[in-house]
Chain A
């Protein structure tokens, strides 16, 4: 009975502390693989010793210390076989580095070091995503592979290669200097956003068994603003929370897509909306809010409205104007056009979409044609609507989206 409860304690400590311990061990040992091995050894030692000696007062410090000594042992063993083993020398240096690892501040810094290292721009973008999920979130290779619909060996290879590059090209384990911080933070935010989107898009499909990577992205987003409360990090977390708040309303019980206008807003998660809206306020009031904060603000305006017609479309058009000023893109222009259609009527929106399509940039973008079809339908221009729905259908690859478009096409009066 007592042994059982200690087992549970160790599992709970693993959940809350293993990533922190790993982040610190990477710094102390100077190598991802040695640190992972040391982490396993430390928990194996805890399973042996804690039931006998009791749970230590500071489990985290105990685990870091145990992991470090196990790593030194392992390095000595390696050294016996190969007297020139570099890792052995590195670990030995660590022995004398006594007080450096225990205090709260350096441990928290280690978590930031880990995030910035996993999201280093010298690593391939897909490797940054995989490494962040593996090292920062602690997902297994199999879980990540499943979430990204990638064969596990391919994903494992990607992670091995990234760790090899960190070691051989000597990517430093550090929080970037102030001058580099904005750009490096952008890279971290991009990785979190990619992870979130992967999970968000997946949740609309049949692939319900995929790991909830959106939840992981939100967790890393939370961790990041806890460690580094920058406005854009707040903006990204706010945006993720506000989008995720609609999760339950986004799909029908049969797995079909429900568009924003048709969603049952009573299903929206009010806690996430409250937290997201508060973060948007903070990010914008700093005066340094960027594209993520603005996109979050747009999501917050939607969240405040009781239904689509009660939405403050003028506010949304205004926010899209600000966003266009920061990062001009035809996709933002398209979203703005849809908001303009809601504010000024379908004709005004359609004119903008036709201008964008005439430039050719979004010619093969399915949502541009779907939006055009929708506005034509509202204007009673049925044959144009049908042609645009068909164009969108030809371009779509997602099953639930295909069903939605076919349904809309079928609803057009002949």
Chain B
């Protein structure tokens, strides 16, 4: 069974935990064979939301804000830049019904 562990933080506390500690934790999990993938994210200001309605791709600045929608899954993708990431996101089937929030990964500094 796989489990997704989502990390939530207040904006002011984003750097309250040192990156080095998170890296060490990830390495430890990886060595024990527990970790599938882990990434830190850029702040919510960098988010872009993709929706597909009637076959048309709609791109908007910001995170999705529909409280009725809930986190239903995730794809961690490798893309050259935001344009490519948005193209991939628009192909994710639930983009037709809900929203796909695209957020860049932040490299942790050791």
Q: Are A168 and B46 in contact (CB under 8 A)?
A: yes
Quote the shortest CB–CB distance from A77 to chain B (angstroms): 21
Please report the C-alpha to C-alpha distance between residue A169 and residue B59 in the assembled complex, in whole angstroms.
14
Stretch at the interface among B6-14, B22-30, B68-76, B79-87: B79-87
Q: Tell yes or no: B61 within 8 A of A by CB.
A: yes
Please report the C-alpha to C-alpha distance between residue A47 and residue B60 in the assembled complex, in whole angstroms.
43
List residues 71-110 of chain B with CB under 8 A from any CB of chain A.
Answer: 80-83, 86, 102-104, 109
* CB-contact partner of B86 in A122, A164, A165, A174, under 8 A: A122
Quote the shortest CB–CB distance from A174 to chain B (angstroms): 8
* CB-contact partner of A171 in B62, B83, B109, under 8 A: B83
Residues of A near B42 (CB, < 8 A) are 168-169
List residues 1-59 of chain B with CB under 8 A from any CB of chain A.
Answer: 42-43, 45-48, 57, 59
Of A121, A164, A172, A176, most B-chain CB atoms within 10 Å: A121
* CB-contact partner of A164 in B46, B47, B82, under 8 A: B46
Please report the C-alpha to C-alpha distance between residue A165 and residue B102 in the assembled complex, in whole angstroms.
12
Q: Tell yes or no: A223 within 8 A of B by CB.
A: no
Chain A contact residues (Cβ within 8 angstroms of B): what range? 10 to 19
Q: Are A124 and B62 in contact (CB under 8 A)?
A: yes
Q: Which residue of B lies closest to A125 (CB)?
A: B61
Chain A interface SS verdict (over half): loop
Q: Are B81 and A122 in contact (CB under 8 A)?
A: no
Residues of B near A194 (CB, < 8 A) are none
Quote the shortest CB–CB distance from B71 to chain A (angstroms): 20
Q: Tell yes or no: A127 within 8 A of B by CB.
A: yes
Q: Are A161 and B81 in contact (CB under 8 A)?
A: no
Q: Are A122 and B61 in contact (CB under 8 A)?
A: yes
Quote the shortest CB–CB distance from B89 to chain A (angstroms): 11
Chain B interface SS verdict (over half): mixed
Quote the shortest CB–CB distance from A172 to chain B (angstroms): 4
Residues of B near A331 (CB, < 8 A) are none
Q: Tell yes or no: A123 within 8 A of B by CB.
A: yes
Residues of B near A123 (CB, < 8 A) are 61
Q: Are B81 and A171 in contact (CB under 8 A)?
A: yes
Q: Which residue of B lies closest to A174 (CB)?
A: B83
Residues of A near B80 (CB, < 8 A) are 172
Contact A165:B45 (CB < 8 A) given known A122-B86, A170-B104: yes
Residues of A near B46 (CB, < 8 A) are 164-165, 168-169
Residues of A near B102 (CB, < 8 A) are 169
Q: Are A122 and B45 in contact (CB under 8 A)?
A: no
Please report the C-alpha to C-alpha distance between residue A124 and residue B61 in the assembled complex, in whole angstroms.
5
Residues of B near A124 (CB, < 8 A) are 61-62
Residues of B near A176 (CB, < 8 A) are 83
Residues of B near A171 (CB, < 8 A) are 81-83
Of A125, A161, A164, A168, most B-chain CB atoms within 10 Å: A168
Residues of B near A183 (CB, < 8 A) are 57
Please report the C-alpha to C-alpha distance between residue A15 and residue B48 in the assembled complex, in whole angstroms.
35
Cross-chain pairs A/B with CB under 8 angstroms, 30 sampled: A84-B109, A121-B59, A122-B48, A122-B60, A122-B61, A122-B82, A124-B61, A124-B62, A164-B45, A164-B46, A165-B45, A165-B46, A168-B42, A168-B45, A168-B104, A169-B46, A169-B47, A169-B48, A169-B103, A169-B104, A170-B81, A170-B82, A171-B81, A171-B83, A172-B80, A172-B81, A172-B82, A172-B83, A176-B83, A180-B83
